[in-house]
Structure 1
Amino acid sequence: MTHQSATEIAAKISRVLAVLLGIFGLVSQQFFLLAIAFFIYMAVASETQAGQFDTLLRGLPVRRLMNRAVKTVSPDLALHEFIQAMLRERHIGFPVVDPATKKLVGMVHLSDIQGKDSTLRVADVMTPDAPTIRDDADAMAAFKEMGRRNFGRLVVVDAGGAIVGIISKTDLINVIKIRAVSEGVPSTTSQTTETPPVPSPSGRGLG
């Protein structure tokens, strides 16, 4: 029996037990048991989905899935110019690259400029600690990092730290759906809103 099969069997048993606990809590009017059953059921569903994602993304390096056409902005760009860049490229977030050093210095998103003076520069509002992933990293590692960092995209860098691409949550979800169909795995992605298994309070996609 494979690890995935064992996980699915354990998940089914846990769901049945959660339902039985919920029924008992409802009949006995012990509503705290009903609440516990609900949380157990949801936790099992989340764990099952994470296991499926891991199976379907296993062995895929980020470099095979990333988009190599990376649009960047300068930290010296005025916010009113950044707005024009968003309209032109139809993205709402960009990696920020120093034109002198060619180094990644941050990430800027539409939410960063809301309510800010349009004469400010990108450097004044950007997130300095840009979310990155190595191009040789596993795709599932990228998926988890998106959830942990609460970003919808990651900048992909090589061993020397140079930007070589960008990978989005949508890219990974599409690969999961395609591989689920091709391998006959019942995917749960149709029931998700492209949210990584690692929960986060709000998303900051890059468009």
Structure 2
Amino acid sequence: MISRKTILFGFIVLSLTGLIIYSQTVPEKKTVYQENFENCNFEGELLECKDGALYLDTTNSAQTGEGIWSKNVSVSPGKISWNWNGQDLDKFSLWLKVTFSDHKSIYYVAAGSMNPQSEGEYYRDQENRRRFSPSVVISGIPMNTVERDLVEDYEKYCGPAENIKIEKMSAGFGDNSTQHQNILRISDLKIYGQ
């Protein structure tokens, strides 16, 4: 007769073996784009890049301002992750925008933030006709580490995600409060392959 201790030991050994095999067969996320915010291209006097982060810091409560960082890229959509946070938040704006090769774009807007002012973009099609592509705004994204599936979001809000690429990444910061010193920050921006 097999004792309970032997059965329990066998179960533990099988569980550990299963975990080891699973961890070796599940592929790691492959980073296809990573932004370190070292050489920043932005509009706005109050934006700064420092220690791998992009941030807006209104140094005193009477100072307000805004800024936009943007970078042209060419990567296939996959999962995207970033970290954002803030302090003394009041009348602020914090968003991340992903623009695709078909002129469609998705804004991810931080919880408590005002929505961006953009409603979309005008562009010229292949026959030089003026077209309008509205932007999708996803509001209420928690202020901490965020992970989203770009393909899933695109298909849910924009249509089939066939033959599209990410062409541009943008981040917007704004402080409209004269009673609080708003500190807004984004870091660890990465896109992973499918």
Q: TM-score range by the shorter chain?
A: under 0.3
* TM-score, scaled relative to structure 1: 0.25
* Larger helix percent: 1
* Larger strand percent: 2
Structure with larger RCO (C-alpha < 8 A, sep 6+): 2
